[in-house]
Structure 1
Amino acid sequence: MRKTLAIAVIAAGATMLAGSFAAAQEMPTVEQTYRDIEATFGTVPTHFKAYPKSAVAGAWAMTKGLEIKGDNALEPKVKALINLAVAAQIPCRYCTWFETKMARTHGASEAEIAEAVTQAAYVRHWSTVLNGLQVDFETFKAEFGGE
């Protein structure tokens, strides 16, 4: 009886895995992806055209899921400010320009933009100090309440 149950559970799991794999394989074509991008932006930006054709549908799905869908946990302005802070640290002039524009579009003030970028610099500063001086991580955690 146990052996039969175990085989049934394994078979069910394999079926679910195969179904997930098949669903992952059913990505839109490149042409469908480009049409969706154009419907969203009014154009297909060059970086999507330059992206490998074999992966552009997945890249677009990620972009839509994180940046365009309305049911995400973070508000668009917050995401744009986070993105801007990261872009400033990478640094990426394309992303910095775009995310500044997006932050403004979503209502961020110049003070919020400046604070987001400065917050990123603050974290980078202390990361440089902590890592460069090789401060003991366990001691650091203990000094701030552990865990």
Structure 2
Amino acid sequence: MPALKCLFLSLSISAVAAALPASLRAEDAAQTARDEIAAAFGAVPTFINQVPDAALPGLWTELKMLEMSDETALDTKTKALISLAVASQIPCDYCIWMDTNTARQAGATDQEIGEAVAMAGMTRNWSTIFHGLQVDFDTFKKELGGS
């Protein structure tokens, strides 16, 4: 019987949600995200208001649960250094600036920041060589101890 009650409750909630205009639901969820962002950062950065209401709640949830959470497999410094390395390759000036600051706040040294960026560059360089020379992937794996 409890499973039937859960199903009925779920269907009831779905019916109520479906009856609300989608724009109202998106606006409410976006406002909740803006409130949380203001609480986390002390204010809502201007660019947040340029993000569509329908996208903001999901983007904010991803950011706070993955990048800003201390309850993930990677610590903040490691995540910031990975993000900086990727941002350097994209390139994204916004991310480079923010990830460098975040890495430093998390205790990264100039050497660690430089090494993360150098690793990104080296990886990109070797990728260019492997792909440009059309190195056979199966041979590559076999010769370097893979299966």
* Equivalent-residue separation in structure 2 for 1:50 and 1:99 (angstroms): 21
Corresponding residue for residue 35 of structure 2: 35
Corresponding residue for residue 132 of structure 1: 132
Q: TM-score if structure 1 supplies the norm length? A: 0.80
Deviation of the 1:46 alpha carbon: 2.6
* Equivalent-residue separation in structure 1 for 2:48 and 2:66 (angstroms): 16
1:84 aligned to 2:96?
A: no
Matches of residues 101-140 of structure 1 in structure 2 within 5 Å? 101-140=101-140
* Equivalent-residue separation in structure 2 for 1:80 and 1:108 (angstroms): 9
Deviation of the 1:31 alpha carbon: 1.1
Deviation of the 1:146 alpha carbon: 2.1
Corresponding residue for residue 7 of structure 1: none
Q: Secondary structure, in 3 states, of the residue corresponding to 2:72?
A: coil
* Equivalent-residue separation in structure 1 for 2:105 and 2:136 (angstroms): 43
Corresponding residue for residue 63 of structure 1: 63
* Equivalent-residue separation in structure 1 for 2:55 and 2:106 (angstroms): 29
* Equivalent-residue separation in structure 2 for 1:67 and 1:81 (angstroms): 12
* Equivalent-residue separation in structure 2 for 1:47 and 1:129 (angstroms): 38
% same residue: 46
Q: Deviations over 1:8-47 (max 9, x none)?
A: xxxx9xx6xx78xx6xx88861111100010001111233
Corresponding residue for residue 141 of structure 1: 141
Corresponding residue for residue 99 of structure 1: 99
* Equivalent-residue separation in structure 2 for 1:146 and 1:67 (angstroms): 32
> Which ranges of structure 2 fall in alignment gaps of 5 or more residues?
18-24
* Equivalent-residue separation in structure 1 for 2:90 and 2:53 (angstroms): 26
Corresponding residue for residue 50 of structure 2: 50
* Equivalent-residue separation in structure 2 for 1:63 and 1:40 (angstroms): 12
* Equivalent-residue separation in structure 2 for 1:47 and 1:127 (angstroms): 34
